[in-house]
Amino acid sequence: MEKAVAAQMIEVALSLEKDIGELDRLVSQVNDGNEKKELIEALGKIIGIITKDFVFRIAREHPELDPDR
C-alpha cells in the first residue's frame, strides 16, 4: 500500500476513537443487561477490526506510521 494512502487511513482510523468513545458512553446507559452485553460485544468487534485490520496491518508495512511510536 502506498505510504500516503496508509497515512490517511491511520489518520481516519484514529479519528474514530472519539466516536467510538461516545458509542461506549451511550451503551453504558442501556438498562437491558442482555442488550447491553450484545452492544458491548459489537463495539469490541468494531474496535478489533479497526485495530487489527487497519492500524496493525499498516504499522507492519509502514512502522513509521505506528501511532504507538
**Residue 58 class from Cβ within 10 Å (0-12 exposed, 13-18 middle, 19+ buried)?**
buried
pLDDT of residue 69: 83
Whole-number Å distance between alpha carbons of 34 and 17: 25
pLDDT of residue 68: 87
Each residue's pLDDT tens digit, 12-50: 999 999 999 999 999 999 999 999 999 999 999 999 999
Whole-number Å distance between alpha carbons of 37 and 30: 9
SS (H, E, C) the chain: CCHHHHHHHHHHHHHHHHHHHHHHHHHCCCCCHHHHHHHHHHHHHHHHHHHHHHHHHHHHHCHHHCCCC
Q: Which residue has the higher pLDDT, 42 or 68?
A: 42
